[in-house]
Amino acid sequence: MMRIHLRVWRQAGPKAAGSFQLYTAENISANMSFLEMLDVVNEQLITKGQEPIAFDSDCREGICGTCGFLVDGRPHGPDACSTVCQLHMRRFKDGDTITLEPWRARAFPIVRDLIVDRSAFDRIIQAGGYTSVNTGGAPDANAIPIAKPIADAAFDSAQCIGCGACVAACKNASAALFTSAKITHLSLLPQGQVERTTRVLDMVERMDAEGFGMCSNEGECEAVCPKGISLTNIATMNREWWRALLKGRELIG
């Protein structure tokens, strides 16, 4: 069993001033997940009549993208290719002090404590991260043959869970890795060809309008991405953007 000291960013609301508060978590098992440790701390705070620490989570299996905050300055904590819900207390030692902060980005305003508003990502997807479909019965799964290497490459990009760690790690608060993953995923597949040209123009325009910064090829996004989304997606997005620009929006049917 461990005693863990926590420095946690507490902020009552979007407009409230925030500050770090100190807490001590007692009797923490090395087998607990990080979020279970926070659950224990919150139960103790509630018992004492204090406000629990607000943080997001849903699946707690590393697949939904809901969780995420900075653990000692690193998005999702010290483990590579992992979400914070998959982080375990065995990664820490008895007596450690751990600092927890929300994602820091203008496009992700703080809602409360460790929770930020990531709806900017939803609006980027709404701008073009979809495919046209005909209404009617579902087509047979094998009606559109797709070569295995292309299906695999599309799947690699489709693994993005929209957590926002890439933005939090980037000194420019760029959303290029997130946006490019969806653009790359759909540009590779036959179903994504209908909106291929407008998609990249509209999603990049929305990304800029939301206040995310430019990509300057620092690579921090790739280093912290829990799904290992590669920087090559950004190169593909840039190629898609130039292709769309040269093709001309006015020529797009």
Residues interacting with ligand FES, by CB under 6 A?
57-60, 62-67, 83, 85
In whole angstroms, how large is the CA radius of gyration of the chain? Answer: 21
Tokens of 120: 């900017």
Whole-Å CA distances, 66 to 61, 83, 100: 10, 9, 16
Contact partner, 178, from ligand FES, ligand SF4, none, Cβ < 5-8 Å per class: ligand SF4
Write the binding mask 38 to 67 for ligand SF4: x where contact by CB under 6 A, - elsewhere: ------------------------------
CB-based contacts of 71, cutoff 8 Å, min separation 6: 34, 77, 78, 84, 87, 98, 99, 100
Query: Does the footprint of ligand SF4 cover residue 164 (CB under 6 A)?
Result: yes
The least distance separating ligand FES from the CB of residue 35, rounded to whole angstroms, comes to: 7
Contact 165, 226 (CB under 8 A): yes
Residue among 110 and 160 whose Cβ is closer to ligand SF4: 160
Query: Does the footprint of ligand SF4 cover residue 181 (CB under 6 A)?
Result: yes
Contact partner, 162, from ligand SF4, ligand FES, none, Cβ < 5-8 Å per class: ligand SF4
The least distance separating ligand SF4 from the CB of residue 223, rounded to whole angstroms, comes to: 10
Backbone angles phi, psi at 104, to 5 degrees: -110, 105
Residues that contact ligand SF4, how many (by CB under 6 A): 14
Q: Which residues of 9-36 are buried (b: 16+ CB within 10 A; e: fewer)?
A: bbbeeeeeeeeeeebebeebeeebbbbb
Footprint of ligand SF4 (CB under 6 A): 160-166, 177-178, 181, 225-227, 229
